[in-house]
Amino acid sequence: MKRKVMAIVLATAMAAGLTGCGAASAPTEVKTETETEAATQTAAAGENTLTVWCWDPAFNIYAMEQAGEIYQESHPEFTLNVIETPATDAQTKLTTAATSGDLSTLPDIILINDSAFQKNVISYPDVFVDLTDSGIDFTKFGPAKVTNSVVNGKNYGVPFDNGAVVNAIRTDVIQEAGYTIDDFTDITWDNYITLGKDVLAKTGKPMLSMQAGESDLVSMILQSAGGSMFDAEGNPTIVNNELLVKAMDVYAELVKSGVLVEVNDWDQYVGGLTSGNVASVINGCWILASVQTAEDQAGNWAVTDMPKLDGVEGATNYSNNGGSSWGITTNCKDTALAFDFMASTFAGSVQLYETILPKSGALATYLPAADSEVYGEGQEFFGGQPIYATITEFAGKVPSINTGVYYYEARDAVSTALSNVIAGADINAELKNAQDTVSFQMGK
C-alpha cells in the first residue's frame, strides 16, 4: 500500500515536472531578449551604426543587408546591425517599450506591417520620428502605399514591399476550358463569375480559394473601387456602404456558385494552390513566392489584373493587400544618419531594388525601379512574362484609400458579418452589427 502511495506521489511529482517542462521555454526567450538588448545598446553606443528589426531572412532582412552594403560603398565607416525579430515579437516588444516608457530597448529602424502602422503611431506617438521633412522624396512611391504610414498629414514610414493585388492564373487549366489569360484581363466580376462557372463545369476546378471567415478578398474588391470601411476622418462607414454591399454580394455569389471554395487555414489555402486544386489566386503579389514553390507548375502560370466591380464609377482593376514600411524610432541617436541612409537606399537607389529583386522577389513600391531592365526581364515560371514590371505598374494605379487606424477591428467585424451572410443572414442587418461592433470598440 505504502509503496503504491509513494508511486502515485512520484507520478504526481513527475506530472508537475512535465508541466514544468512546458513552461521551461520561457528562459530561452528571455535569453534571446537580453542578447538583443545587449546588441541594441552596443549599436546605440557606437557611431555610424544603425540597428534594424525585420523578420524574413529571404526577404526583408536580405534587402536591408543589401541596402547596408550599398550605403557602405559611399560611407565606409558605416555599419548596419540587423536583428531578426518576427513581426508579432516586434509588435510585443514595441508595446512593452512604449507602455513602460523605456524606449532604449528599441532599434533605430523598425519594419512594420502597413495595416498596423497607423495604429502604432497613434497608440505610441512618442516612438516614431516624423519623416515629412527628412529629405526623403515620398512622391517617388505609389501614393496608395504611402498613405498607409501617414498620420495627421505627416509621413512616418518609408514604403518597402509591395502588396499590389495580382490575379495569377493557371494557364493550362483555363486552356482546357478554352480560355486564355486575355479573357481574364480587364474584366468585371460578372464576367469573371460567368467564366469561372464555365471553367468549373469543364475542368472541375474552382477558380479561387479563400480562408473562411476572412474578409481579405472583400477588402481588396472594396479598395479596387476606391471604397473603404472608414471615411477620411476615420469614422467607420460599414453600414449603408454601397460598395461594401456590392463587394460582399460578389463574394457570396462566388461561394454560392462554387467558383470560390472556402478553406479553414493558411496551410490549406497555400496547399490548394501548389497541389493544383484551384485554378487561380487573387491576393497581394507576395503570394507569388508561395505559388512559385510548386516547381512542377513552372511555365503554367500567368499574372493579370483583378476583375473590377460592375456599374461602379471609379472602379478599377487594381487593389492592395499587405506590405510593410520602415519606421524610424525616437531611440535613434543619429536621425540625420538614418534619414540619409533611407534616402540613399530604399528611397533613392534603383540599384538596390535591382539587386534584391531576382533573389528575394522583393517588389518595390519605388516607382523609378519599374523602368529598370531587371524588372523588365521575363520570368520563366510565368511563361516568360515580365511580371515584376507588370505588378509595379499595377501598384501605381491602386486607388488611394484610408485603411483606418481601426483596420483590424473593422476587418474582424466584417469577417463575422461575411460568415453570417454566407450562412444566410441578411446583409444589411449584419453590416449594421459590424458597424456597431467597430464603433463600440472605437469607444464611440
Partner 1 sequence: MMLKEKQNLTGWGFLAPATLMIAVMSFYPMFRALILSFKTGIGTGMTWSGLYNYTRMFQDGVFMQALKNNFIYLIIQVPIMLILALVLATMLNDRSLKCKGLFRTAIFLPCATSLVSYAIIFRSLFAVDGFFNTFLVKAGILETGYNFLGNPTSARIVIILALIWRWTGYNMVFYLSGLQNIEYSVYEAAKIDGASPFTIFWKITAPLLKPTILLTAIISTNGTLQLFDESVNLTNGGPANSTITMSHYIYNMSFKYVPNFGYAAAMSFLILILVAVLAFVQMKVGDKRD
Helix (H, G, I), strand (E, B) or coil at 1: coil
Which residue in the set 203, 335, 420, 439 belongs to the binding site for partner 1 (CB under 8 A)?
A: 420
Provide the CA 109 distance to its chain's centre, in angstroms.
Answer: 19
Distance CA 345, CA 361 (A): 17
Residue 10 vs 38, nearer CB to partner 1 = 10
Neighbours of 216 (CB within 10 A): 17
- Cα first-last separation, the chain: 66
Rounded least distance, CB 268 to partner 1, Å:
6
- Residues paired with 284 in a beta bridge: 165
C-alpha cell at 13: 511529482
Which residue in the set 412, 427, 432, 439 belongs to the binding site for partner 1 (CB under 8 A)?
A: 412
Residue 8 vs 58, nearer CB to partner 1 = 8
Rounded least distance, CB 231 to partner 1, Å:
17
Rounded least distance, CB 18 to partner 1, Å:
5
DSSP type of residue 310: T
- Tell whether residue 200 is a contact of partner 1 (CB under 8 A): no
Give Cα separations from 444 to 108, 248, 439 (angstroms). 35, 25, 5
- Residues paired with 385 in a beta bridge: 379
Which residue in the set 41, 42, 99, 104 belongs to the binding site for partner 1 (CB under 8 A)?
A: 99
Residues 238-297 that bind partner 1 (CB under 8 A): 262-265, 267-268
Segment near partner 1 (CB under 8 A), from 91-99, 180-188, 236-244, 280-288? 91-99
Segment near partner 1 (CB under 8 A), from 167-175, 218-226, 250-258, 435-443? 435-443
Distance CA 123, CA 332 (A): 19
C-beta separation of 341 from 261 below 8 A = no
Binding mask 4-23 for partner 1 (x = CB under 8 A): xx--xx-xx--x--x--xx-
Of 21, 31, 422, 29, residue with least CA distance to 250:
422
C-alpha cell at 294: 510548386
Give Cα separations from 99 to 25, 86, 102, 127, 310 (angstroms). 25, 20, 8, 10, 47
The dihedral sign for the CA sequence 372, 393, 138, 72:
negative
- Tell whether residue 217 is a contact of partner 1 (CB under 8 A): no
Q: How many residues bind partner 1 (CB under 8 A)?
A: 50
- Tell whether residue 205 is a contact of partner 1 (CB under 8 A): no
- Tell whether residue 79 is a contact of partner 1 (CB under 8 A): no
Distance CA 73, CA 263 (A): 48
Which residue in the set 28, 74, 76, 126 belongs to the binding site for partner 1 (CB under 8 A)?
A: 126
Rounded least distance, CB 412 to partner 1, Å:
7
C-alpha cell at 93: 516588444
Residue 321 vs 365, nearer CB to partner 1 = 321
Which residue in the set 135, 213, 314, 358 belongs to the binding site for partner 1 (CB under 8 A)?
A: 213
Residue 8 vs 38, nearer CB to partner 1 = 8
Residue 88 vs 293, nearer CB to partner 1 = 88
Of 391, 331, 347, residue with least CA distance to 339:
347
Binding mask 325-364 for partner 1 (x = CB under 8 A): ----------------------------------------
Contacts of 333 (CB under 8 A, 6+ apart): 44, 108
Give Cα separations from 351 to 65, 357, 440 (angstroms). 14, 10, 48
- Tell whether residue 444 is a contact of partner 1 (CB under 8 A): no
Binding site for partner 1 (CB under 8 A): 1, 4-5, 8-9, 11-12, 15, 18, 21-22, 88, 91-92, 95, 98-99, 101, 119, 122-126, 212-213, 262-265, 267-268, 405-406, 408-409, 412, 415-417, 419-420, 423, 433, 436-437, 440-443
